[in-house]
Amino acid sequence: MQKNKKIQSFIQFGLFLGLIILINILANIRFGNQALYTFLDLTEDKRYSLTQATRNLLRELDDVVYVQVLLAGEFPAGFKRLQRATQEILDDFRGESGFIEYAFEDPSNGTVEEINARREAYAKEGILPTTLRVKDNNETTSKLIYPYAQIFYKGRSIPVQLLENQVPGMPQEIVLNNSVGLLEYKLANAIQKLKTPVRKPIAFSTGHGELDRSQTADLERSLRSFYETGRINLDSTTYISQDLAALIIAKPTLPFSEKDKFKIDQYIMNGGKVLWLIDKLAVNLDSLSRGLFLPKEFDLKLDDLLFRYGIRIQPNLVLDMNATVIPLAVGQIGNAPQFDNFVYPYHPIVVPSSDHPIVKSVDGVNLHYASSIDTSVRTKTEVQKISLLSTSANSRVQFLPVRMDFEFLRMGLDPNLYNKGRQAVAMALEGVFPSMYENRITQAMRQGLQDIGQSFVTESVPNRMVVVTDGDIAKSKINRRTNQVAPLGFNEYDGQIYSNKDFLLNTIEYLVDDTGLIEARGKEVKLRLLDTAKVDQEKTYWQALNLILPLLFLFLFGLIFNIVRKRRFE
């Protein structure tokens, strides 16, 4: 009898063990690259849930994606969080696709010769180290780290910077939190670029006094990492091909003909994306240096086109107390003039005005002589208008005519004048756009479309465009002595590099993104920091509660257990 019970217990244990193994096997089986297991994300910001676009991208993989993360080793708590978050997001990726493989490596391992050779190889691929300062026992030590991931797919590779750029004055916790929130987008976007062997073409328009190649050199250099860039002269082409992923109109100074506007209009109607970088008024520092100046409007003849799409660029100048500086002569010692820096409100530092993915984690953008945007224009079709960048609350506007000089700077800026609130200077437009040439198309225009096998379109497919009221946002300055191109967003007077390039690259990603991956860029991982003042104030209370409450619970449980036991067996 005893022997039978042992055999029965052994069989039950074997069945239980087999059931556990079966469940484990089923949990790792995939059907059509789809795992059987799932999970529930109960966090408020859905930090453990991938966007649908990322899921679709991963499920479509047909070969191994290997991710080499250069974040192995010991780090302070903040960087440990970035390290752990990177592993978690890669585990989530692997949960969607069996083709995801990854490994963490420490670039500082090995001999001095091996480390130096490795660093030289990284530098050639654009992987540059970050100096990490660690405090330990009242001593601060510096360590070079590489917050990067290299992604390999079908013989191609691309580096991904995991750590956002450190902005002066921004706490490291915020930088790390922004970095964690962008991990899914950065990794998925890199995989998408590797998965697409043919680069999408992007063109800058020419023929209307736009910025030339030397002025957009730094922006194009960054774009060429992922796109084919070029120039298109609207006067010498019969139409704008829909194969063009995006058209950038960067600071035109000459008028657009009706033919050119018609080409742009029909390009948009058929789904073409346009980035408008438009200066409304003709003014620059060089023109002001000669004395009193009266700015005039550029006669671009684009107002009716933009009005049809839902906005109006106002003929004004935006001034903001949050601005960069310019040097002015304040005296002279001998034959040498003495200069001092003054805040110049015509060069505002504008900031994100929404939670749109374009401006997620983008810091201040430096504009020159920007204008405000009127969004009260009604459109025939439904167009959503999203403010991307705006001035601070301490701003004002000046409508033409206006007399401009530098004398007002010497008296200081009067805060009472800067009371017009935030002014929108960059907008994203989404929706169905009406054609400006509906009921206005000429026979010559219609015949031109027929000659290329196209028909006139009165309303666009669901589309998007972005308008910025400063063409200089894309302009890199050139050192006249060395003839070198300065980084886009670099201000030679304060030595800072502003986020002009980040904003433009994000904008172009948004315009040409057909997969919806940009949605992942809008995910926000909330940083929940302890209230240190409240912790100090209520420290004793919570310590006592955590010490006494468990003991009280055990006492009550023992008391009730003994009472019940006594009554049951009395």
When pLDDT is cut at 50, 70 and 90, the band that residue 32 belongs to is low
Mean of pLDDT over the chain: 84
Instruction: Choose one of 193, 224, 255: the last residue of a domain.
Output: 193
What CATH number is associated with residue 242? 3.40.50
CB contact at 8 A, 96 and 188 = no
Residue 460 belongs to some domain of the structure: yes
Residue 248 belongs to some domain of the structure: yes
Looking at the structure, tell me whether residues 219 and 187 fall in a common domain: no
Angle at 360 between CA 357 and CA 361, to 5 degrees: 160
CA distance 560 to 554: 10
Q: Tell me: pLDDT of 263 over 90.
A: yes
Q: What is the mean pLDDT of residues 47-54?
A: 76
Residue whose C-alpha is closest to residue 502's, from 359, 329, 345: 359
Looking at the structure, tell me whether residues 228 and 275 fall in a common domain: yes
Looking at the structure, tell me whether residues 76 and 54 fall in a common domain: yes
Residue whose C-alpha is closest to residue 226's, from 245, 212, 247: 245
Full domain range(s) for residue 307:
201-283+298-315+358-391+424-515
Q: Tell me: pLDDT of 327 over 90.
A: no
When pLDDT is cut at 50, 70 and 90, the band that residue 511 belongs to is very high
pLDDT computed for residue 371 by the predictor: 95
If one counts every other C-beta atom within 10 angstroms of the C-beta of residue 122, the result is: 18
Burial class (CB in 10 A: 0-12, 13-18, 19+), 211: buried
When pLDDT is cut at 50, 70 and 90, the band that residue 463 belongs to is very high
Burial class (CB in 10 A: 0-12, 13-18, 19+), 239: middle
Largest CA distance in the chain: 116
**DSSP 8-state assignment for residue 222:** H
Least confidently predicted of 76-85, 278-287, 354-363: 76-85
Digit-coded pLDDT (tens) for 401-459: 888 888 788 788 888 999 999 999 999 999 999 999 998 888 888 888 888 888 999 99
In the numeric block, which tokens belong to residue 86?
């990177």
Angle formed by the axes of helices 443-451 and 258-269, nearest 10°: 50
Instruction: Choose one of 160, 193, 226: the last residue of a domain.
Output: 193
Looking at the structure, tell me whether residues 137 and 56 fall in a common domain: yes
Looking at the structure, tell me whether residues 228 and 372 fall in a common domain: yes
CA distance 6 to 12: 10
In the numeric block, which tokens belong to residue 428?
């994203």
Instruction: Choose one of 496, 515, 534: the last residue of a domain.
Output: 515
Residue whose C-alpha is closest to residue 293's, from 282, 280, 279, 304: 282
Main-chain dihedrals φ then ψ at residue 331, nearest 5 degrees: 175, -170
In the numeric block, which tokens belong to residue 366?
């430096």
Distant-in-sequence, close-in-space partners of 555: CB < 8 Å, separation ≥ 6: none
pLDDT computed for residue 5 by the predictor: 67
| CA dihedral (456, 511, 196, 517) positive or negative | negative
Q: Tell me: pLDDT of 475 over 60.
A: yes
Residue 492 belongs to some domain of the structure: yes
CA distance 223 to 246: 12
Looking at the structure, tell me whether residues 269 and 310 fall in a common domain: yes
Looking at the structure, tell me whether residues 470 and 363 fall in a common domain: yes
What CATH number is associated with residue 45? 3.40.30
Residue whose C-alpha is closest to residue 104's, from 87, 121, 126: 87
Residue 344 belongs to some domain of the structure: no
Digit-coded pLDDT (tens) for 110-126: 888 888 888 888 888 87
Q: What is the mean pLDDT of residues 222-248?
A: 91
CA distance 422 to 438: 35
Residue 436 belongs to some domain of the structure: yes
CA distance 173 to 176: 5
Looking at the structure, tell me whether residues 68 and 185 fall in a common domain: yes
User: Among all chains, which residue has been given the structure tokens 């308008």?
Assistant: 467
Strands (E), 421-562: 424-431, 463-468
Looking at the structure, tell me whether residues 179 and 158 fall in a common domain: yes
Looking at the structure, tell me whether residues 47 and 156 fall in a common domain: yes
CA distance 412 to 321: 10
Residue 494 belongs to some domain of the structure: yes
Q: Tell me: pLDDT of 252 over 90.
A: yes
Q: What Cα–Cα distance (Å) separates residue 123 from each residue in 72, 106, 142? A: 19, 16, 20
Looking at the structure, tell me whether residues 252 and 364 fall in a common domain: yes
pTM over 0.85: no
Angle formed by the axes of helices 183-195 and 52-59, nearest 10°: 40
> Total domain count for the chain?
2
Looking at the structure, tell me whether residues 380 and 457 fall in a common domain: yes
CA distance 300 to 444: 23
CA distance 329 to 184: 50
DSSP for 320-368 reads: ESSEEEEEEEEEEETTEEEEEEEEEEEEEEEEE-S--GGGTT---EE-S
Residue 327 belongs to some domain of the structure: no
Q: What percent of the chain has pLDDT over 90?
A: 35
Residue 262 belongs to some domain of the structure: yes
CA distance 63 to 197: 14
